[in-house]
Structure formats: C-alpha cells, structure tokens
Amino acid sequence: QVQLVESGGGLVKPGGSLRLACEASGFIFSDYYMTWMRQAPGKGPEWVSYISSSGLTAYYADSVKGRFTISRDDAKKSLFLQMNSLRAEDTAIYYCARDLGRRYRSGWCDSWGQGTLVTVSS
Amino acid sequence: EIVLTQSPATLSLSPGDRATLSCRASQSLNTYLAWYQQKPGQAPRLLIYDASNRATGIPARFSGSGSGTDFTLNISSLEPEDFAVYYCQHRSNSLTFGGGTKVEIK
C-alpha cells in the first residue's frame, strides 16, 4: 500500500534552516507529482509547494517563495523541502502528499504522510 | 486569488442524521473542487474530487455536487466515525483550502 514517511522536523530559531524529507513506498514514485502541505496549530491545511513527476517544474505558495525549495530523488523514492530564512509563522506540521493523477497533475492529494512538526522559535 | 468560504463553521448533528456542508467560491471553479475529511491527530483524507467523484475506498454515503461557485458535500446518514472537520479545496496553479466545517455530535 502507499506509504509516505516524513522526517527532519524539529525546533529551529528564526532565520534558521531545516531540510525535510519524505520517503515513499508502495507505488511508482517517479510517475507522480508530489506536494508539500502544512498545517499550523488549530488552523486548516495550507499548500506549500508541488513538483512535477519529472522534477523539472515546481510551484510555490507566495508565503514561501524564495525561501523554500522542493526537490526529489526518484532513485531514493524521496521528496525534499529545503526551508531557509524560517519565520515564526512557518511553525506547522508539514505533510508530504501524493497527487491522485499518475503521469499527470490532478491537483488532488490522495495519499498523505503522518507529518513532521516544525517549530520556529527563539 | 480565489477564496473558498465554507458554511456553517460548525454542524451539530446526531448519528443517523443527514449532513449538508457548503463551499462557496469567490469566482467560478468549473468543477475543480475537492473535499477532505480530517480527524484529530491525523492527516486530511481525500473524499471527493472534481466536485462529485468519490475517491478510492470512500463509502457511498458521501456525495459531492455543484459547479461554478457553489458546492455541497452530503453525508446521507452520519456514522460515529464521520464526526470530523471537512475542508474543500480548489486547484489551479496553486491549491487553496476553505476554512473548514466541524461536524460535531449533538
């Protein structure tokens, strides 16, 4: 079955950096667009970024553009999110999610990991 | 930027009741809308996509309808496990979520 396992979260000071990873299994990773979502405490989900199946195209929410970079390593079946210049408002659970479409982008996320908590605080 | 407004914020119902949740968009979405369910401590789960298509494994009591700016998620007869928060989501180059509707036990 599809499994997504995030790692790399933790406590970081404002202005610091963190790299999240998501290890995928149970499906052909290279066939799918992949997405990072986040959810601040007590709030709804927020889209962060997605990357095409080829890895050549990526989109970012305005709130993270220029600070976060999404990437993927198909050989390792892994998705990454490099987060720089972190702010208090980036505090959230970060989820990696798979797009519903195979070899095309649907925009819907049909599988999610359990999330990893990022806390930005001095 | 498209804004999704969900109503009501909270729905207090009993098991066996019918639930009707609304999602209104600030501009036409065609049928590019999905619904997710989220329980405490869990990730969101895709229920409905393209306004009316049930995702794999989703029970038939969940149904979605609508197009343009007005969308509805119906749960025909609430089961105990359906009490949760529900979000609608639109997709364009970006992904946008509504503020959520909490379905709580009356």
The C-alpha atoms of residue A73 and residue A27 are separated, in whole angstroms, by 15
| Band of residue B39 on the pLDDT scale cut at 50, 70, 90 | very high
Number of H helices, E strands in chain B: 0, 11
Q: Do A107 and B91 touch (CB under 8 A)?
A: yes
Asked if B86 contacts B73 with a C-beta cutoff of 8 angstroms, the reply is yes
CA distances from A84 to A93, B8, B15 (A): 16, 37, 46
Among the partner-chain residues B43, B49, B89, the one whose CB lies closest to the CB of A113 is: B43
Write the pLDDT tens digit of every residue in A89-109: 999 999 999 999 988 999 999
The C-alpha atoms of residue B27 and residue B25 are separated, in whole angstroms, by 5
Assess whether pLDDT exceeds 90 at residue B93.
no
Is A29 at the interface with chain B, CB within 8 A?
A: no
Q: Which residues pair with A101 in a beta bridge?
A: none
Write the pLDDT tens digit of every residue in A3-62: 999 999 999 999 999 999 999 999 999 999 999 999 999 999 999 999 999 999 999 999
DSSP code of residue B55 = P
Among the partner-chain residues B34, B43, B100, the one whose CB lies closest to the CB of A44 is: B100
pLDDT at position B37: 98
Asked if B51 contacts B66 with a C-beta cutoff of 8 angstroms, the reply is yes
For strand A116-120 and strand A92-99, is the pairing parallel, antiparallel, or unpaired? Answer: antiparallel
Task: Count other C-beta atoms under 10 Å from residue A42's C-beta.
Answer: 5
Is B83 at the interface with chain A, CB within 8 A?
A: no
How distant is the Cα of B17 from the closest Cα of chain A, in angstroms?
25
How distant is the Cα of A61 from the closest Cα of chain B, in angstroms?
7
pLDDT at position A119: 98
> Alpha carbon A92 to chain centroid distance?
12
How distant is the Cα of B15 from the closest Cα of chain A, in angstroms?
25
Among the partner-chain residues B34, B38, B100, the one whose CB lies closest to the CB of A108 is: B34
The C-alpha atoms of residue A32 and residue B84 are separated, in whole angstroms, by 29
